[in-house]
Amino acid sequence: MIEEQEPDYRFTLANERTYLAYLRTALACYAGGLSAVQFLDLGPDRWPARIIGVVLVTAGIVITAGAFRRWQQNLAAMRQGGPLPVTRLPLMLGATIATVGLIGLLFSLWR
């Protein structure tokens, strides 16, 4: 059995701040997605706005779940004195935001 130890409180608080930053980002994705569906007028059927909205809200859900999982894994690694786990969450987040921005730009120019 691995002996757990209490990590330095500064690392615990830094892990918590990172978790809260991800939650703020997820909240921005929710707000952006709902705003896109409500206010963007990118065509007669508004399907581009719906696509952007669905992608952003889905990204927010994934970020919320991924952030909690990352927070838990980091805390467990710190308590066990092991390396922090690798995550793809920032890559996924960056790719999603870039894709949504590109979709919005293309449909704005197309219109």
Tokens representing 45 are: 């059927």
Tell me what pLDDT residue 5 has: 84
Residue 34: partners with Cβ closer than 8 Å, 6 or more residues away:
53, 57
Q: 46 falls in which pLDDT band (50, 70, 90)?
A: confident
Q: Kindly report, residue by residue over 74-105, the tens digit of the pLDDT.
A: 999 999 999 999 999 999 999 999 998 898 88
CA dihedral for 30, 25, 56, 71, sign (positive or negative)? negative
